[in-house]
Amino acid sequence: MTTLQKDEDGFFNPVPARGSSPSKPEEKPKHEETPKAEEAPARPASPENDLVKSSFEVSVTLADQQADPNSPLFSVKTFEELGLSEELLKGIYDMGFSKPSKIQERALPLLLSNPPTNMIGQSQSGTGKTAAFVLTMLSRIDFDLHKPQAICLAPSRELARQIMSVVCTMGKYTAVQTEYAIKDHLPRDASNITAQIIVGNPGTTIDLIRRRVLDTTHIKVFVLDEADNMLDQDGLGDQTLRVKNSLARNNKSQIVLFSATFPEHVRSFASKFAPNANKIELQKEELSVESIRQFYMDCKDEEHKYDILVQLYQLLTIGQSIIFCQHRHTADRISARMTAEGHKVASLHGAKDASERDAIIDRFREGKEKVLITTNVIARGIDIMQVNMVVNYDLPLMNERDKFADERPDIETYIHRIGECIIIGEKGGSRRTGRFGRKGVSINFVHDKRTWMQMEQIEKALGRKIIRIETHDLDEMEENMKKALK
Ligand SMILES: Nc1ncnc2c1ncn2[C@@H]1O[C@H](COP(=O)(O)OP(=O)(O)OP(=O)(O)O)[C@@H](O)[C@H]1O
Q: What is the pLDDT of residues 187-229, one digit of tens each?
A: 888 889 999 999 999 999 999 999 999 999 999 999 999 999 9
Pair (298, 238) in one structural domain: no
Ligand 1 atom with least separation from CA of 166: 31
- Return d(Cα 357, Cα 92) in angstroms, integer: 29
Confirm whether 430 is domain-assigned: yes
- Return d(Cα 387, Cα 337) in angstroms, integer: 22
Higher pLDDT, 451 or 17: 451
Confirm whether 2 is domain-assigned: no
Question: What's the pLDDT score for residue 485?
Answer: 65
Do 228 and 281 form a contact (C-beta atoms < 8 A)?
no
Contacts of 189 (CB under 8 A, 6+ apart): none
Q: How far is the CA of 454 from the centre of ligand 1 (A)?
A: 30
Question: What's the pLDDT score for residue 288?
Answer: 59
Q: How far is the CA of 126 from the centre of ligand 1 (A)?
A: 5
CB crowding 223-243: b at 16 or more within 10 Å, else e: bbbbbbbbbbeebbbbbbbbb
Pair (202, 321) in one structural domain: no
The last residue of a domain, from among 242, 257, 286: 286
Higher pLDDT, 383 or 42: 383
Confirm whether 268 is domain-assigned: yes
Pair (372, 426) in one structural domain: yes
Q: How far is the CA of 129 from the centre of ligand 1 (A)?
A: 6
Question: What's the pLDDT score for residue 122?
Answer: 94
Q: Residue 229 in 3-state DSSP?
A: helix
Confirm whether 63 is domain-assigned: yes
Highest averaged pLDDT of the listed ranges 33-47, 57-71, 287-301: 287-301
Q: Model confidence at 293, in pLDDT bands (50, 70, 90)?
A: confident
- Give the helix/strand (H/E) hosting 197: strand 197-200
Q: What is the mean pLDDT of residues 362-374?
A: 96
> Of the residues 58, 78, 127, which should be mutated to test ligand 1's pocket, given the most ligand atoms within 8 Å of the CB?
127
Q: How far is the CA of 106 from the centre of ligand 1 (A)?
A: 15
- Give the helix/strand (H/E) hosting 265: helix 264-273
CB atoms within 10 A of CB 264: 6
For residue range 136-159, list pLDDT tens digits in order. 999 999 999 999 999 999 999 999
Average pLDDT, the chain: 81
The last residue of a domain, from among 259, 286, 313: 286
For residue range 305-346, list pLDDT tens digits in order. 999 999 999 889 988 999 999 999 999 999 999 999 999 999
Pair (447, 349) in one structural domain: yes
Ligand 1 atom with least separation from CA of 259: 25
Q: How far is the CA of 104 from the centre of ligand 1 (A)?
A: 10
On the question of pLDDT at 407 being above 70, the answer is yes
Q: Model confidence at 436, in pLDDT bands (50, 70, 90)?
A: low
Ligand 1 atom with least separation from CA of 104: 1
On the question of pLDDT at 246 being above 60, the answer is yes
Do 73 and 102 form a contact (C-beta atoms < 8 A)?
yes
Confirm whether 250 is domain-assigned: yes
Residue whose Cα lies nearest atom 12 of ligand 1: it is: 436
Ligand 1 atom with least separation from CA of 419: 26
Residue whose Cα lies nearest atom 2 of ligand 1: it is: 97
- The pTM score is 0.83
Q: Model confidence at 165, in pLDDT bands (50, 70, 90)?
A: very high
Pair (110, 129) in one structural domain: yes
Question: What's the pLDDT score for residue 303?
Answer: 96
Question: What's the pLDDT score for residue 440?
Answer: 79
Q: How far is the CA of 92 from the centre of ligand 1 (A)?
A: 12
Q: How far is the CA of 430 from the centre of ligand 1 (A)?
A: 13
For residue range 339-367, list pLDDT tens digits in order. 999 999 999 999 999 999 999 999 999 99
Ligand 1 binding pocket, CB closer than 6 Å: 97, 99-101, 104, 123, 125-131, 260, 381, 383, 419, 433-436
Nearest Cα residue to 29 out of 166, 155, 200: 200
Question: 128: domain CATH number?
Answer: 3.40.50.300
Question: What's the pLDDT score for residue 35?
Answer: 38
- Return d(Cα 123, Cα 74) in angstroms, integer: 12
Pair (375, 261) in one structural domain: no
Highest averaged pLDDT of the listed ranges 236-250, 275-289, 431-445: 236-250
Q: Which domain holds residue 433?
A: 289-485
Confirm whether 1 is domain-assigned: no
Pair (317, 336) in one structural domain: yes
Residue whose Cα lies nearest atom 23 of ligand 1: it is: 126
Pair (215, 327) in one structural domain: no
The last residue of a domain, from among 268, 286, 304: 286
Ligand 1 atom with least separation from CA of 383: 17
- Return d(Cα 205, Cα 143) in angstroms, integer: 22
Pair (272, 294) in one structural domain: no
Question: What's the pLDDT score for residue 439?
Answer: 67
CB atoms within 10 A of CB 405: 10
ipTM score over 0.90, yes or no? yes
Contacts of 214 (CB under 8 A, 6+ apart): 148, 181, 193, 198, 205, 208
- Return d(Cα 246, Cα 77) in angstroms, integer: 38
Q: How far is the CA of 436 from the centre of ligand 1 (A)?
A: 6
Pair (267, 351) in one structural domain: no
Q: Model confidence at 452, in pLDDT bands (50, 70, 90)?
A: very high
Ligand 1 atom with least separation from CA of 226: 27
Pair (247, 341) in one structural domain: no
Confirm whether 475 is domain-assigned: yes
At 441, give phi and psi (nearest 5°): -135, 140
Nearest Cα residue to 434 out of 388, 369, 484, 482: 388
- Return d(Cα 356, Cα 346) in angstroms, integer: 11
The letter for the amino acid at 314 is Q
Q: Model confidence at 16, in pLDDT bands (50, 70, 90)?
A: very low
Q: CA-CA distances (angstroms) from residue 275 to 39, 101, 255, 281?
A: 40, 26, 9, 16
Contacts of 70 (CB under 8 A, 6+ apart): none
Q: How far is the CA of 147 from the centre of ligand 1 (A)?
A: 28
Query: Based on the structure, what is the number of domains in the chain?
Result: 2
Q: What is the mean pLDDT of residues 117-129?
A: 92
Can you give the length of the chain in residues? 486
Pair (334, 209) in one structural domain: no
Residue whose Cα lies nearest atom 9 of ligand 1: it is: 128
Residue whose Cα lies nearest atom 29 of ligand 1: it is: 434
Ligand 1 atom with least separation from CA of 127: 21
Q: What is the mean pLDDT of residues 430-436?
A: 40
Residue whose Cα lies nearest atom 1 of ligand 1: it is: 100
Would residue 257 be called left, alpha or beta, if left means φ above 0 and alpha means ψ between -120 and 50 degrees? beta
Question: What's the pLDDT score for residue 55?
Answer: 28
Question: What's the pLDDT score for residue 32?
Answer: 37
CB atoms within 10 A of CB 358: 17
Higher pLDDT, 484 or 143: 143
